[in-house]
Amino acid sequence: MSLEQISFPLKSREIPSEVAAVLAEADRRCDDFFDEGLGRRYPRYLPSAPEVVYGAMLSLKEAGYLSGDVFCEWGCGFGVASCMASLMGFEAYGIEIEDELADRATQLAQDFELRVEILCTSYLPEGYEECDGVGGKDLLAPEATTSRGETIDTTPSYEGLDPFEVDLFFVYPWPGQEELMMDLFEAVSSEEAVLLIYHGDGEISAHRRGGDDDF
C-alpha cells in the first residue's frame, strides 16, 4: 500500500502560554545538555523546530486528517513534540533508545504534569533492522516464515504500545533516513495513520496510509 502526501496549510500559529512554558524550559535544559558536553556523547541528537511542528500538528488535527488521538514520536530526545501533543489532547508516547535522553524526556513531562509515556526502546520493532542502502538507509523487515516454512508472528509491537493504534507518528530523521522512516511507517502503521516528518530548516511534510479519499 503506497503512501500519499497530504497537502495542508502551514501557517504561523500563536503558541499558547502552556506550550510556550514547556518549550522555554526544554530550551533551557537543551542548552545545559550541550554545555555539559553531552552532545558529544549523543551526536545524533538534534532538536527540531517545535513551533513548526506544533503548527503542523494543529493543522492536521483541525483539518480532520487524523482518525484518532494517539500520538507517537520516534526518537523523541527530550520529548518536546510528545509534550506538545499531550497539551493538544493526544494520548502521547515518545520512543527513545538512549537511557539518559529517555530519562530527561520523562522528567520534562513529569515536571509539567503531562500525561506522556516515554518508552526506552528502539523505534525499530523486534525483527526489523536498518542497513546501508543506495543513497541512504534501507529497512529490513523480518521474515514471515522459517527455512522450514513455519509461520512466524511478525506483528510489530513496542512494549506498552501497539503501533497499529497510533494515529499520528512524528519523526525528525537523520539525513539519509527519510525513506527508511517512510518504509517503517508503511510497515507498522494502520490504514489512515499519518506520518509527520520534520526535514530541517523549517520544512515539514505529512504522509498518509491508504484510504479511499483523496486529499
* Contact by Cβ (8 Å): 118, 105: yes
Kindly list the domain boundaries of the chain, sorted by start residue: 16-209
pLDDT at position 45, please?
Answer: 60
pTM, two decimals, is 0.89
Give 211 or 170, the one with higher predicted confidence: 170
Q: Is 130 exposed, middle or buried (0-12, 13-18, 19+ CB in 10 A)?
A: middle
**pLDDT value at 147 more than 90:** no
pLDDT tens per residue, range 15-64: 999 999 999 999 999 888 888 876 666 655 667 889 999 999 999 999 99
Question: Structurally, what CATH architecture does the domain formed by 16-209 represent?
Answer: 3-Layer(aba) Sandwich (3.40)
* Contact by Cβ (8 Å): 22, 80: yes
| pLDDT, mean of residues 131-146 | 78
